[in-house]
Structure 1
Amino acid sequence: MSVVQRAGAVQRAGVVRFSSRLHDERVASWLGIWLGVSFTIAFVTGLISHFMQHPPGWLMWPSRPVNLYRVTQGLHVIGGLATIPLLLAKLWTVYPKLLQRPPIRSVGHALERAFIFLLVGASLFQVVTGVLNIAYWYAFPFFFTTAHYWTAYILIGALLIHVANQWATTRHTVMKRPEDGLNRRAFLATVAAAGGAITVTTVGEAFPPLAQLAVLAPRRPGVGPQGLPVNRSAFAAGVTQANANDPAWRLRVTGRVQRELSLSLSDLRALPSRSVRLPIACVEGWSAGATWGGVRLRDLLHLAGVDPDARVQLVSMEVAGLYKTSWVSPRHWHDPLTLLALDVNGRPLDLDHGFPCRLIAPNRPGVNQTKWVHRMVVA
């Protein structure tokens, strides 16, 4: 039988033949295990990030440990980037099965392929939109945070169903000693090395000793005004130097208070000052530590006569934006490390860092460290 005749016979039998012997179950199983672990870590750390930014009413997120968000979000983003070669390798290994004919052989097979379609689609969606988000390129018409959050549930649900369906096969495959001479280790080591290379060239955005190696990171510690990166500049927020330096500027504390306050910048600087060492940690995975000086938020609220269980809304001079305001829970404003900061690294705040004053609090996402604060409303 000629080569053409054999190819025709294989095609009529409903099987697509590929040249590489690495399209086998053992390679696919090991990649699947690694990918499952990686997706699980991303899902858990992603939930932490989401609920820190948008805490439900029943959740009182702690202010300690100070670096919790810095570590979990760094792990989420850097680990997610390292997953890319793993996901591509997995798809390359199994794509012959995705192209088998006939595509549907039974109702059960149709359901199985539907969940695989959800798994593959959700995986690619999360990776692609995640990369675009940390690159600050919003080339999609939907709000990234909402889409990323809900797609994560689709991904993890489809993954659990896939694991349940493939568990017996995977367990048998990885536990059985291979009988062929195929060098799978070199392929798997190459995939692991690619993920490691991505990690090394991005982890410096959250780990300063490796900052010089972070060539793939969108932000690096030490780069920016006053030695700190900036995501949203004053120009982007619509805050001008003239507005910030307006002699009529006052910080007003209103709402459920015994005494309403209206404080100028000089008044704030006349209050007892504190200095703390805290990081700015952003959703894109980067973080940078700094020394902040200013007034403890709890001292300011005690001056206004606020109830111990009150929540406080900080309002920015920012013209518009989803994070123009943020809520501070009792656990955070009672913490002595939470400041209404006036200085950073020994100098008055740069306009891009929130001059004349901003919030800085432990274990809090950067988008909720409100800049250009001019009003506090106690609820």
Structure 2
Amino acid sequence: MRLSLPPRTRPTFTGRLRDARTVTLLGHWLGFAVAVCFVTGLVSHFLQQPPGPLADRLPSRPYWGYRLTQGLHVAAGIAAIPLLLAKLWAVYPRLFTWPAVRSVRHALERLAVGVLVAAGIFELFSGLLNTFQWYPWPFSFVPVHYAVAWILAGALLLHAAVQWPVIHEHLTRRSPGTLALPAEDGPDRRGLLAAVAAGAGAVTLTTAGQSVAALGPLNLFAPRSPADGPQGLPVNRTAAAAAVTEASLATWRLHVTGPRPYSVTLEELRSMPQHEVTLPLACVEGWSRSVRWTGVRVRDLLDRAGAGPDSACRVVSLESAGAYRVTRMGRTYAQDPLSLLALRLNGEPLSLDHGRPARVIAPNRPGVLQTKWVSRLEAL
């Protein structure tokens, strides 16, 4: 006796909540968010690691520029997560299309989509974990995140080029009734899109308060509150992590090199002309806060060492190790009157975690380059 088995069946998906127009609209929103992330990410990368020819040409104004671009970068990345999940929900039935590969061209197209999906998931979720400063992987976040961003951008452009006829058709369709759905399909497309937009808006409003002061009361789920920390300002790298102690500051002097090198004590620095500026400390994790800084202009310190008006400088920290122990201030930053070797924060002497005895603060500059525990300025 032979048993006859039912033919293998594949899952079927019906309903226009997953039709090409819905997928295209979700892709349009997601593509815009990814584009904002990519452009602002490039700004952050080049400000942190400027190519040689740009090192002395990067703009120091507007002074709030990095606060804006990095805030947009993190906000757009967080908003893109619900958009990505909705997009994947709408297109995953296509994984079950048969035959899986119809031609060489179709195989390459599916491979490109696989790269696009993998790169998108990696970029958004690794970026989210970076805002919490949690790195559960063995590689360095910054170079890998930057490299995969280019892979994502290339895969996205290739996918858009291949799908352009479909994208154009469904974005320009205006025939009556295209948004109406049969009752058995459940919520209509407008309801789905409204829910997705509401979700993206909600996660943005409840996290953007870490960089937008006006949204501070709604800052429910952001990794940081910009008002929490010593002297009302968060700290990413503590003095303990940098192995800087009170004992190590006992004989501290600032050394400034140039045609006329010199060194000064903290008391001598305090006796020099002091300037006060209000500048934001803007971190790559997305949080930022404007506070009052008081100290000596960097360009005045370089002038005293005989450096010319076009001089850049190298900043060296007292900490013994760290990716940003030594940083470069290009000419535009070093000569900007807002760039200070700060000694006070909101009228109080710097706490040890905020870089006592002296730290750099400059306009339109990533927080990781606002070097703390400065021991040396080298005129270039």
TM-score by structure 2 length?
Answer: 0.93
Q: Which residue does the alignment assign to 1:32?
A: 27
Going from structure 1 to structure 2, the CA distance change for 1:261 and 1:185 (only over 3 Å counts) comes to same
For 1:1-379, list aligned pairs within 5 A.
Answer: 8=7, 11=10, 16-18=11-13, 21-59=16-54, 60-176=57-173, 177=175, 178-179=177-178, 181-182=180-181, 183-244=188-249, 246=250, 248-254=251-257, 257-379=258-380
Unaligned residue ranges in structure 1 (runs of 5+): none
How far does the alpha carbon of each residue in 1:176-234 deviate from its partner, in whole angstroms, 9 at most, with x for none? 23547321010011000011111111111011232232121122122111111111111
Q: C-alpha separation between the residues in 2 aligned to 1:251 and 1:179?
A: 70
Going from structure 1 to structure 2, the CA distance change for 1:17 and 1:163 (only over 3 Å counts) comes to same
CA contact (8 A) 2:179 2:190 kept: no
| Deviation at residue 308 of structure 1 after TM alignment | 2.6
| Deviation at residue 19 of structure 1 after TM alignment | 5.5
Q: C-alpha separation between the residues in 1 aligned to 2:92 and 2:286?
A: 32
Going from structure 1 to structure 2, the CA distance change for 1:272 and 1:314 (only over 3 Å counts) comes to same
Point out the more displaced range, 283-292 or 221-230: 221-230
Point out the more displaced range, 290-299 or 218-227: 218-227
| Deviation at residue 307 of structure 1 after TM alignment | 2.5
| Deviation at residue 236 of structure 1 after TM alignment | 1.1
Point out the more displaced range, 326-335 or 205-214: 205-214
Going from structure 1 to structure 2, the CA distance change for 1:71 and 1:179 (only over 3 Å counts) comes to closer
| Deviation at residue 114 of structure 1 after TM alignment | 0.9
SS where residue 234 of structure 1 aligns?
coil
How far does the alpha carbon of each residue in 1:86-142 deviate from its partner, in whole angstroms, 9 at most, with x for none? 000000100111232222110000110111011001000001110111111110111
CA contact (8 A) 2:311 2:334 kept: no
| Deviation at residue 21 of structure 1 after TM alignment | 4.1
Superposition CA RMSD, Å: 1.5
The AA in structure 1 aligned to 2:44 is S
| Deviation at residue 58 of structure 1 after TM alignment | 1.3
User: Which runs of at least 4 in structure 1 moved beyond 2 Å after TM superposition?
Assistant: 7-11, 18-21, 174-181, 307-311
SS where residue 232 of structure 1 aligns?
coil
Q: C-alpha separation between the residues in 2 aligned to 1:168 and 1:21?
A: 19
Q: C-alpha separation between the residues in 2 aligned to 1:231 and 1:19?
A: 50
The AA in structure 1 aligned to 2:317 is S
| Deviation at residue 238 of structure 1 after TM alignment | 1.1
**Number of equivalenced pairs:** 366
| Deviation at residue 24 of structure 1 after TM alignment | 1.1
CA contact (8 A) 2:284 2:367 kept: yes
SS where residue 236 of structure 1 aligns?
coil
Q: C-alpha separation between the residues in 2 aligned to 1:124 and 1:216?
A: 20
| Deviation at residue 253 of structure 1 after TM alignment | 1.0
Q: C-alpha separation between the residues in 2 aligned to 1:252 and 1:212?
A: 44
Q: C-alpha separation between the residues in 2 aligned to 1:161 and 1:10?
A: 33
Q: C-alpha separation between the residues in 2 aligned to 1:349 and 1:198?
A: 34
The AA in structure 2 aligned to 1:181 is A
| Deviation at residue 175 of structure 1 after TM alignment | 2.2
CA contact (8 A) 2:16 2:189 kept: no
How far does the alpha carbon of each residue in 1:288-314 deviate from its partner, in whole angstroms, 9 at most, with x for none? 000000000011110110123332111
The AA in structure 1 aligned to 2:50 is P
| Deviation at residue 20 of structure 1 after TM alignment | 5.2
Q: C-alpha separation between the residues in 2 aligned to 1:174 and 1:375?
A: 58
Unaligned residue ranges in structure 2 (runs of 5+): 182-187
Point out the more displaced range, 277-286 or 311-320: 311-320
